Structure 1
Amino acid sequence: MIPIDLVFLDVAAILTAAKLLGEAAHRTGQPRVIGEIVAGIALGPTLLGRVGGHRLFPETVMPALNTLADVGLVLFMFVVGLELDLRLVRGRTRIVCGVAAGATALPFAMGCALALPLAHRYAPGSTLPFVLFLAVAVSATAFPVLARIITDRGMQQTLLGGIALAAAAVIDVFSYTLLAVVIGIASASGNQSWRLLLAPGYALAMVFVVRPLLRRLASPGDSPGFTARQLPYVLVGLFASAWITQWMQVNFIFGAFLFGAVMPRREDLLRWLSDAFAPAVQLMLPVFFVVTGLTVDLGKLHPGALGVLAAVLAVSVLGKAGGGYAGARLTGIPPRGSAVVAVLVNTRGLTEIVILTIGLRQHLLEPELYALLIVMALVTTAMTGPLLNRAYPRDRLAEDVAAAGGRAGHQEGAGDLPSPPSEVSGNPTGGRGR
C-alpha cells in the first residue's frame, strides 16, 4: 500500500529542492533544469540516500512519484508540440536542413561506433536496439532549452538564432521519430508487436482527422479560440492520444507531442493554451526531473567508468559541434557564425533527459550508462553559455540585434525572426548586418 502522507511530504521536498537549486542554477547563468536534476541527484542515493534518504523516498512511494512525473511529462510534451513551429524553416530550408543533417548524421555515426564496443557491458538485451538508442541519445538537441537560451540572450532577433532554433526543431522531430523506431525494434519480439503497425495510420489520422476537428472546435468566431469550457475536451484528447501511443508500444510522449503538433496554428490560440498549461507544467515538470535524478547513483560508478564517460563526452561534443559546424559551413555560413550555430545545437537538456529516461524504462541500457549519459546531458548543457560567450560576445550580439531592427527587448519568440538575407555568407558573424 502506498503511504499517501509520505507521498505528499516527498512532493513538498521535491518542489522545494527543485526551486532552490533551479534558482541557484539560473543565477549562475545556467538553465533551471540543471539545478532540478542536481536536486534529484542530491536527494537520491548519491548523497541523501547514504544518510537515510531511503526513508524519505522508499520503494513504496516511487510508483506514485513516477505517475506524477509522467503526467507532468505529458503536459510538457504537449506544450513542446504546441510551440514547435516548422515555419521557421521557410526561406532557410537549405541552410537549416544542412545544419540539422550535419548535427545529426555525424554524432549518430560516431554514437553507433561507440556503442558497439560498449554493448557487451551495457546492453540489457539485443545489440541493435542498444546501438541505435545510444546513437539517438548522443545526436539529440534540446529544442525547449535552446529556445530559452536564445530568447534570454535576445538572439531570436538574429539570423543565427533563427537558424539554430529551426535546426533544433528538425533534429527534435527526427530524434523522437527514430526513438519510436528503436522502441519498436526492441518491442518487436513481444506478443503484441502487431500494435506497432498501427502507428503510421494513427499519425495520419491525427493530421487528417483530428486536426480538422480541432480547427472546428476552435472556430474563428470563438475568442480566444478555446475557452475554459472547451479546455476539458483538449485534456481528454491529449491523454487519450498519450494512452493510444502507449498501448501501441510506441511510448506516451509521442502521443502527447503529436497532439500538440496538430493543434491549429493560430497565434492567439497557441498563446492561450500555453498560458493555460503553464502552471501545471511548472508545478509537475520539476517532479519529473527530480525523480529522474533519484534514479542516478553516482556513488556506484567505479574508476573504469570515467573512461567511458570521457568517451561519451568526446563523441557527444565533437560529433554534435563538429557536425553542426560542418553543416553550417557547407551551406555558406562563415566560420564565426558556424561556430555559434555549432555551440547552440550542442545543447542537450530536456530532450536528452526525456530520451534517456525512456531508454531506461524500456530496458535499452543499464543504469550505470544511464547515469553517465545524464552527466553528459548536464555537462553539454552547462557548457553552452560559456562557449557562446566566447563565440558570440555580447557586444557583437548587440550589433547584430541592432542591425536586425533594434528589437532586442522584444520576446515574442521565433515567429518574429526576419527572413534571411542573400548576403548571409558575407557577414563575419552570420547575422543580418551587411
Structure 2
Amino acid sequence: MHAAMGTTEIFLIAMLIIFTLPYLIWRLGNTDYFAPLVVVQIITGVLLGPGILGRAYPEYYAFVFNPEVIACLNGVAWWGVMIFVMLAGIELDLKKAWEHRRESTITAGLALGTPLLFGSVAALGMLGYAGWIGPKARDWQFVLGVGMACAVTALPILILLMEKLAILREPIGQRILRYASLDDIAIWGVLALILLDWERVGRQLGFLVAFGAATWLYRRLMVRLEERDRWYVALIWLAICALASDWAGLHYMVGAFLAGAVMDAKWFNQERLDFLRHNVLLVLMPVFFLSTGLRTNWAVGGSAVFVAAGVLLVASVAGKLAGVHIAGRVLKWGEGEASIIGWLLQTKALIMIIFANILLDKAIITSETFTALLLMAIGSTMLTVPVVYPKLQRVAALVFKAS
C-alpha cells in the first residue's frame, strides 16, 4: 500500500496529522490557559520530529516525512512565515515610541540588554562543550546569536496573549507594544550583523542602498492606492524584498521583516490586519511548526539538551525580569507594574523560533542548540499567562493606568 501512494497522497496524510493532532490535544485537553493552540502546535511539531516519532517508529516516519513531502511542506512554511514576519513588521509603532522616547528607550534597552548579557554568559559556557557551536560560526557569532535568542520578545505572540488577557487595547498593553517594537528592530539589526558576510559585503551594502531607494518609491505608490490594491501590492513587495535579501546573503526573513517595517499600519484596516494575522496562524503556520519540529535533534544526549534548555530559560526569564525591574525603578513605576511587563516581554515562541531557524540555516548553531532554544521558547511562552493573569487580578488598576 505504501508503494502505491504518490507524493500528493503522502503530503495530504502529513497535512492531516499537522492539523488534526494539535487541535485534538488543545481542545480535548483544554490547555488554553497554560498552552495556547500555537504552543501546542509547536510541541506537537517536536513530538513528530526525528528525535521522538522518528526514533519510536522510524519506518512510518520515513514514509510520511520523506524528502519530497518535506520539500512541499517547507515551501508552504516559508511563505507562511514570511507573511507572518511581514505582519510583525507592520505592527511596529515607531511614532508612538518616539512620542514616549525616554520611557520607551530606557525600558526597551534594559529589557533587551540584560537578557542578552545573561544569555551570552550562558552561551560562553556552552562553548566549553562539543556539539553546540555550528560548523560555520565564529565564537562571537554563536555567543551573540544565543544571547539574542534569550533576549527576543515574540511580538505577534505577545499580541495574542494580551488579547487573551484583555489588555491589548488598554494603555498598559500599548506601552508594552512600544517596548517590544523597539526590541524587534534591534533583534533584526543584530541578526543582520551576525549574518554579515565579508566576502559578499558589497552585495549586502548594495541591497541596503537599493532597498532604501525602493522603499521611497514603494511608500509613494502605496499612499496613492486604494486599500484593496494595497493588500496585493504588499505581497508583491514582500516577495521582492525577501528575494533580494536572500540573494544578498542576509536571509529571506530579514527581507520579510524589512518589507513590513517600512509599511504603515494605518494603510490597512486594523480589523482586517488582525484577521489576516489570525488566519495565517490558523492556515499556514502549523506547517511551519511541523517543519521546525523536524529539525530538532538530541544527538548530544537528551539530558544535555534539557539541561542547556533549562539554563537558557533561566537566563532569559531572569535577565528580562531584572532589566524591566531596573527600568521600573528608574522610571518610578507603581507596585507590581514591572513584574507584569517583564513577564509579558519574556514571551518567546514564534519570533525566537524563526530567529533560531535562521541561525541553524547559516550553520551558526547546531541542531542540538536549536532544540535547546526551541524547548526554552516553549517553556517561556507557557509560563506567561499562568504567571501574569493572577498578577493582573491583584493590580487591576494598572490596566487603566495612563500611558
After TM superposition, the score normalised by the length of structure 1 is 0.82
**Aligned: 1:188 with 2:191:** no
**CA deviation after TM superposition for structure 1 residue 276, in Å:** 5.3
Q: Structure 1 residues 309 and 156, CA, compared in 2 at 3 Å: closer, same or farther? A: closer
Alignment of 1:154-303 (within 5 A): 154-184=166-196, 187-189=197-199, 192-218=200-226, 225-227=227-229, 231-266=231-266, 268-272=268-272, 275=275, 279-298=279-298, 301-303=301-303
AA paired with 2:145?
F
For the residues of structure 2 that align with 1:287 and 1:209, how far apart are their CA atoms? 34
The yes-or-no answer on 1:16 pairing with 2:20 is yes
Among 2, 7, 28, which residue is 1:3 paired with?
7
Indicate whether 1:102 and 2:119 are aligned.
no
Q: Deviations over 1:334-391 (max 9, x none)?
A: 3411111111111111111110111111111011111111110011111111221343
Pairwise CA distance, 1:26: 5.1
AA matched with 1:8? L
The runs of 5 or more residues in structure 1 that have no matched partner are 219-224, 405-417, 421-434
Number of residue pairs matched by the alignment: 390
Corresponding residue SS for 2:218: helix
Distance 1:261 1:28, change over 3 A: same
Cα deviation for residue 267 of structure 1 reads 5.9
Report the Cα distance in structure 1 between the residues aligned to 2:394 and 2:117, rounded to whole angstroms: 37
- Structure 2 distance, partners of 1:301, 1:286, is 27
Q: Is the 8 A contact 2:153 2:346 kept in 1?
A: yes
- Residue 273 of structure 1: CA displacement? 5.1
Rounded to whole Å, the distance in 2 between the matches of 1:111 and 1:276 is 34
Q: Which residue of 2 aligns with 1:432?
A: none
Match of 2:41, as an amino acid?
E
Structure 2: how far apart are the matches of 1:158 and 1:375? 31
Separation in 2, partners of 1:215, 1:271: 19
The answer as to whether partners of 1:163 and 1:341 remain within 8 angstroms in 2 is no
Q: Percent identity?
A: 24
Which residue is 1:396 aligned to?
Answer: 395
Q: What is aligned with 1:30?
A: 35
The whole-number CA distance in structure 1 between the counterparts of 2:373 and 2:68 is: 27
Deviation at 1:395, TM superposition (A): 5.3
Q: Kindly indicate whether the alpha-carbon contact (under 8 Å) linking 1:92 and 1:163 is maintained by their aligned counterparts in 2.
A: no
Q: What do the CA deviations read for 1:118-174 (whole angstroms, capped 9, x no partner)?
A: 235211232121111111111100111111111221223543322222111111111
Is residue 39 from structure 1 mapped to residue 41 from structure 2 by the alignment? no
* 8 A Cα contact 1:140 1:348, kept in partner: yes
Q: Is the 8 A contact 1:25 1:35 kept in 2?
A: no
1:257-406 equivalences under 5 Å are: 257-266=257-266, 268-272=268-272, 275=275, 279-298=279-298, 301-392=301-392, 394=393, 396-397=395-396, 399-401=397-399, 404=400
37-46 or 24-33: bigger deviation: 24-33
Q: Which moved more, 1:268-277 or 1:354-363?
A: 268-277
Q: Report the CA distance between 1:233 and its aligned residue.
A: 3.2
* Root-mean-square deviation over aligned CA pairs: 2.5
Query: Which residue of structure 2 lines up, in the alignment, with residue 55 of structure 1?
Result: 63
Counterpart residue type for residue 123 of structure 1: I
How many angstroms apart in 1 are the aligned matches of 2:96 and 2:40?
Answer: 30
Q: Please report how far the alpha carbon of residue 178 of structure 1 lies from its aligned counterpart in structure 2 after TM superposition.
A: 0.9
Name the structure 1 match of 2:3: none
- Is the Cα contact below 8 Å between 1:75 and 1:281 reproduced in 2? no
